[in-house]
């Protein structure tokens, strides 16, 4: 597909607003964490006193594959600067393969985001096992850093959506 590689060269989506971020702004992250792996990993991170941005708000779901696309979009429309989805590693899903299905949905939502001018990096999928507290904290921190570069979610300032 010649045209899509053309598109890649020129960055098609850039909603970066980093320049005009308010001083006291910290990226708000909504995290959908699967009960069996990532949520437990997040528990362990806290117990291990690992630090990350307090603007990360966890939501417990049973499986990364149960995260509806509507929830992801809802979070972004409600002004979350980023959405993190944490699931079990591939092959380790408590429900056999929900994470594979999650991966497909995330791929679609990322395309939709890019297609309307919302930076797809605002949606982040990561496999974090119950024992990977370090990876959990690091994932949140790295994501926070990415969002700082991107600046506030441009949808957050739109009042009439």
Partner 1 sequence: MPGLRKVDRLKKLLLLLPCDEEMEKLLDTRSLAEEMDDPENWVFARSDPRLCGPDRSDYIADLVKETEAQAIIVGGPSDRTHGSVWRQEASFVGIPPDRVELVPLVQQCVYVTDEKDAARRRAKIMIESALARVDTGIDRAVERVKAMQAVLVIGGGVAGMQAAWDLADFGRQVYLVERTGELGGRAHQLSRTYPTQDCKPDGCCPQSCRDCQFTPRIDLVTSHPLIELLLESEVKSIKGGIGGYQIEVHSPEVSRLLEVGAIVVATGNVMFDAEEMGELSPWHPDVISFLELEKLIDWQRKEDHAWAPLRRPSDGKVPKNIHFLQCVGSRDEHHGTIDCSLVCCTYAVGQAKDLKDMLPDATVAIHYMDMRGPYRGFERHYLEAQESGVLFMRGRVVEIEPDNGNLILSYEDIDIGEPVTMEADLVVLSVGQLPTPGTAELAQMLGVPLDEDGYIGEDNTTYSLWDRRGVYVVGCAAGPRGIRYSVRDGREAALSIDAVLRRVQIELADNIAEVDDERCVGCGQCVESCEYDAKTLEERTDLQTGRKYRDAIVEPRRCWGCGNCHATCPSTAISLSGFSDDQLVRQVEIASGGHR
Partner 2 sequence: MAIAFKWDLAKGEDRDEAVRRLLREALEKGAVDAVLVPAEGPARTGIVNMFTTDPGSLDACVPFAKAMAQFGPQDLVRLTEPGGSPIRIAALLKPCECRAVAELAKINQIDLEHVILLSPDCEGTVELKEYSMVADGQAVPVRNACKICRFHVAREPVDMAIGTFGVKDGLMLVTNSDEGQAFAEAIGAKATELTDARKKAVEESIEKGEEAYGDQEARSREKYSDLGTFLAELSPCIKGMNCQNVCPVCYCKECLLYTDAFNPTAGSLADKAKRRGTLRMPVETVQFHLTRMAHVMTACVMCGQCQSACPSDIPLVEMYAGINRRIQDLFDYEAGRSMEDEPPFTCFSEHENFEVVGD
State in angstroms the smallest separation of the CB of 26 from partner 2.
18
- SS3 annotation, 55-111: CEEEEEECCHHHCCHHHHHHHHHCCCCEEEEEECCCCCCCCCCHHHHHHHHHHHHHH
Query: Which residue matches tokens 């299905």?
Result: 101
Which listed residue (78, 131, 145, 149) binds partner 2 by CB under 8 A? Answer: 78
Q: Does 145 bind partner 2 (CB under 8 A)?
A: no
Residues 19-38 that bind partner 1 (CB under 8 A): 28, 30, 35-36
Query: Which residue matches tokens 């570069």?
Result: 149
- HSE on the CB side for 149, CA within 13 Å? 9
Rg (CA), the chain: 16
- HSE on the CB side for 62, CA within 13 Å? 6
Which listed residue (21, 59, 62, 77) binds partner 2 by CB under 8 A? Answer: 77
Q: Does 2 bind partner 1 (CB under 8 A)?
A: no
Q: Does 5 bind partner 2 (CB under 8 A)?
A: no
Q: How crowded is residue 52: how many other Cβ atoms within 10 Å of its Cβ?
A: 19
Residue 88 binds which one of partner 1, partner 2, none, with CB within 5 to 8 A depending on kind? none
Q: Does 43 bind partner 1 (CB under 8 A)?
A: yes
Q: Does 70 bind partner 1 (CB under 8 A)?
A: yes
Question: Could you tell me the CA-to-CA distances from 127 to 29, 35, 67, 111, 112 in Å, in that order?
Answer: 17, 13, 14, 20, 22
Residues 135-154 that bind partner 1 (CB under 8 A): none
* Residues near partner 2 (CB under 8 A): 1-4, 6-7, 11-15, 69-70, 73-74, 77-79, 90, 97, 100-101, 103-112, 114-118, 121, 124-127, 139, 154-155, 158-161
* Residues near partner 1 (CB under 8 A): 28, 30, 35-36, 39-40, 42-47, 49-63, 65-71, 74-76, 78-80, 91, 94-98, 101-102, 105, 156
């Amino acid at each position: 597909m010649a045209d899509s590689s053309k598109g890649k060269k020129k960055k098609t989506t850039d909603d970066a607003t980093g320049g005009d971020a308010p001083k006291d702004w910290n990226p708000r992250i909504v995290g959908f964490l699967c009960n069996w792996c990532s949520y437990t990993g997040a528990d362990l991170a806290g117990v291990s006193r690992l630090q990350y941005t307090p603007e990360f708000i966890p939501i417990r779901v049973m499986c990364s594959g149960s995260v509806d696309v509507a929830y992801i979009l809802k979070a972004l429309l409600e002004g979350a600067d980023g959405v993190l989805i944490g699931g079990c590693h591939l092959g380790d899903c408590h429900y056999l393969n929900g994470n594979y299905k999650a991966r497909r949905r995330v791929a679609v939502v990322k395309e939709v985001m890019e297609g309307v001018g919302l930076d797809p990096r605002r949606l982040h999928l990561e496999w974090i096992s119950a024992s990977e507290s370090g990876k959990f904290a690091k994932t949140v921190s790295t994501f926070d850093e990415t969002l700082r570069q991107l600046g506030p979610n441009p949808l957050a300032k739109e009042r009439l959506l």
